Amino acid sequence: METLEQLDKEIFLYLNDMQSPFWDAVMIFVSNKYVWIPFYLGLIGYLVWRYRRQSMAMLGMAIAAVGLADFVASGIFKPYFLRLRPCHDPSLAEFVNIVEGCGGQFGFMSSHASTSFALAVFFNLILPDRYFIFKIVLVVWAVVVSYSRIYLGVHYPGDIIGGALLGSFLAYLSSLGYTILLNKYPRLVR
């Protein structure tokens, strides 16, 4: 376990050291949850327009996946593991590039990673293949949002990987729930 933690710190320090004023601004922007509100509203609007009744089940299960991902990461894992964020770790204090604030004290698992991957994976699982480009964009978005947390100095790669796996798993469960809903209530599709 100590070897994994040391490797996690070394990878973090390598990735966190790639700083520039241009990327600082980009990563702060990407990491800001309020910046994505127009994207979410556009997604909701498109789904309601395109899928009508079925969009309610889609949106309900997407919200369930994202909400659970946030709750489990922040409400269960962070207080249970009590793993300090890199920006709060005294052994790394002089090496971490903190771009803008540090956030809460504990970082395992990343809520940004868990929620963005929950949304991306959920729609990758339920949308038809004709949305291939949109599916790729969602995954790239989740990866960039997650990487921004390492760049900003607030999460280790292990926090990100754990959050991404958690969000993906909960998205899978929500996609199963969505399929069950559609099979049990076929009028949702009409």
For 170-173, the CB contacts below 8 A with 24+ separation are 170/65, 170/68, 170/69, 170/72, 170/114, 170/118, 171/65, 171/69, 171/117, 171/118, 171/119, 171/120, 171/121, 171/122, 171/125, 172/121, 172/125, 173/65
Collect all residues with Cβ–Cβ distance below 8 Å to 1 and sequence separation of at least 6.
none
Q: pLDDT tens across 131-185, in order?
A: 999 999 999 999 999 999 999 999 999 999 999 999 999 999 999 999 999 888 8
Residue 190: predicted pLDDT: 60
With bands split at pLDDT 50, 70 and 90, how would you rate the model's confidence at 97? Answer: confident
**79 against 102, higher pLDDT:** 79
pLDDT at position 185, please? 84
pLDDT band per the 50, 70, 90 thresholds, residue 24: very high
| Mean confidence (pLDDT) of the chain | 92
- Contact 64/177 with Cβ under 8 angstroms? yes
Q: What is the pLDDT of residues 30-78, one digit of tens each?
A: 999 899 999 899 999 999 999 888 899 999 999 999 999 999 999 999 9
- Closest to 150 measured CA to CA, from 136, 135, 164, 138: 164
Per residue, the 3-state secondary structure of 154-177, as one string, reads CCCHHHHHHHHHHHHHHHHHHHHH
Could you tell me the residue ranges of all domains in the chain?
2-17+38-188
146-158 per-position pLDDT tens digit: 999 999 999 999 9
pTM for the structure as a whole: 0.92
